[in-house]
Amino acid sequence: MPDEVIRRRVVVHGRVQGVFFRHSARERATAHGVAGWACNRPDGAVEAVLEGSPETVERVLRFFETGPPRARVERVEVQKEQPQGLSGFEIR
């Protein structure tokens, strides 16, 4: 089904704040046409929501496994959610 849209909530743990993780995530998501948002959490993790086709969301999720060069990803949690029709990608 080519018009299928999925939504994933992602929490990335490790050294992921102060290393341009959210900005890099926005660049990657925008390049692949994935909508959503990313924010820093008080516990030091980065949380994000991604909406798009299964293929494009998977590409962005692969980026979250390593992040930008200065990041050190220790663990990535991914949850399935119902799409909400987001557009664009924002940093919160």
Given a contact cutoff of 8 angstroms between Cβ atoms, the answer to whether 81 and 37 are in contact is no
6-91 has CATH 3.40.1010.10 classification = no
- The pTM assigned to this predicted structure is 0.93
Residue-wise pLDDT tens for the chain (92 aa)?
457 999 999 999 999 999 999 999 999 999 999 999 999 999 999 999 999 999 999 999 999 999 999 999 999 999 999 999 999 999 99
- Residue ranges per domain, the chain? 6-91
> Looking at the annotation, which residues are catalytic?
22, 40
3-state secondary structure of 57: helix
* Closest C-alpha among 62, 59, 58, 46 to residue 12: 46
Closest CA to 88 of 21, 29, 24, 11: 29
Phi first, then psi: give them for residue 52, nearest 5 degrees. 170, -165
